[in-house]
């Protein structure tokens, strides 16, 4: 392949593509999670300074194809990618996982935003948050009758009404079931990431009749090509 690729990553599938890119290509990470040290391609860590900064980088580095393989809720970088590629006159491709779909036995309730989530949480006592770090900003707002369990990549201090657990997927159904039962979880809060690695919590919620509050997916920009699976993207890149 002759194109020079900038691959925007941050999820498992992106790393799988990065592992197959040669030294002329660049894998870009925001700098929040782990930075792999064993790739053949170049690794760049940290933001570009908005869409303009990214467009400048694309031109200066001679990038000819931008691939957005970021998380479906990382809407800002996806918007920046689409407009930067337009500014630089190169194609933008995106890997977008299909959303999970509710099945028989599921009690899923979609919420728009944090305010909607707090309202929907009112009938519950022992929520399990799996939204990453965002709920940490709201620890002082926990109602007296609730105890929150918050799962994020890294453990950190909670408070008298919240415990923060550090854990990284993939998660297994037995461990998820034990977590729900040990902590008497009565509601699960999740994004709709569509990832196989984090799906077992939904199976356990279904099994135990626990409702799930799902944070609505953000609207993502139009790009030149959208791939729903790693296999399709890999085939289009001729990396097989």
Interface positions with ligand NAP (CB under 6 A) = 8-11, 28-30, 32, 47-50, 53-54, 70-71, 73-77, 80, 132, 191
| CA separation for the pair 129, 146 (Å, rounded) | 12
- Cβ closer to ligand NAP: 97 or 120? 97
Dihedral class, residue 184 (left if φ above 0, else alpha if ψ from -120 to 50, else beta): left
CB of 151 to ligand NAP, least distance (A): 12
Residue closer to ligand NAP, measured from CB, 47 or 143: 47
β-pairing verdict for 212-215 and 5-8: unpaired
Compute the least distance from the CB of residue 181 to ligand NAP, in Å: 26
Element at 134 (helix H, strand E): none
Q: To the nearest whole angstrom, how small is the minimum distance from the Cβ of residue 73 to ligand NAP?
A: 4
Smaller CB separation from ligand NAP, 116 or 132? 132
Minimum distance from residue 106 beta carbon to ligand NAP (Å): 21
Nearer to ligand NAP, 49 or 209 (CB): 49
Task: Find how far residue 88's CA is from the centre of its chain.
Answer: 26
Q: Nearest approach, Cβ of 124 to ligand NAP (angstroms)? A: 22
Tokens for 38, please give them: 């064993």
Compute the distance between CA of residue 216 and CA of residue 108 in angstroms, rounded to an integer: 11
Cα(50)–Cα(28) distance, rounded to whole angstroms? Answer: 14
Task: Give whichever of 8 and 223 is closer to ligand NAP, judged by the CB atom.
Answer: 8
Angle between helix 173-182 and helix 200-208 axes, rounded to 10 deg: 50
């Amino acid at each position: 392949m002759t194109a020079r690729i900038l691959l925007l990553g941050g999820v498992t599938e992106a790393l799988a593509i990065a592992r197959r890119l040669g030294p002329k290509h660049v894998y870009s990470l925001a700098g929040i999670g782990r930075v792999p040290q064993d790739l053949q391609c170049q690794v760049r860590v940290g933001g570009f300074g908005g869409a303009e900064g990214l467009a400048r980088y694309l031109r200066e580095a001679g990038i000819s194809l931008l691939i957005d393989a970021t998380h479906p809720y990382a809407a800002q970088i996806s918007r920046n990618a689409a407009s930067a590629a337009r500014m630089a006159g190169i194609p933008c491709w995106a890997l977008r996982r299909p959303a999970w779909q509710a099945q028989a036995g599921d009690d899923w309730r979609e919420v728009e935003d944090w305010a909607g989530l707090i309202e929907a949480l009112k009938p519950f006592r022992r929520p399990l948050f799996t939204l990453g770090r965002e709920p940490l900003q709201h620890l002082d707002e926990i109602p007296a009758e609730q105890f929150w369990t918050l799962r994020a990549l890294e453990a950190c201090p909670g408070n008298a009404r919240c415990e923060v657990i550090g854990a990284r997927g993939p998660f297994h159904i037995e461990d998820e079931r034990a977590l729900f039962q040990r902590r008497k979880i009565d509601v699960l809060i999740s994004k709709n990431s569509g990832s196989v690695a984090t799906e077992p919590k939904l199976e356990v919620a279904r099994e135990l009749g626990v409702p799930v509050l799902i944070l609505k997916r953000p609207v993502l920009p139009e790009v030149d090509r959208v791939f729903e699976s790693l296999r399709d993207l890999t085939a289009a890149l001729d990396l097989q």
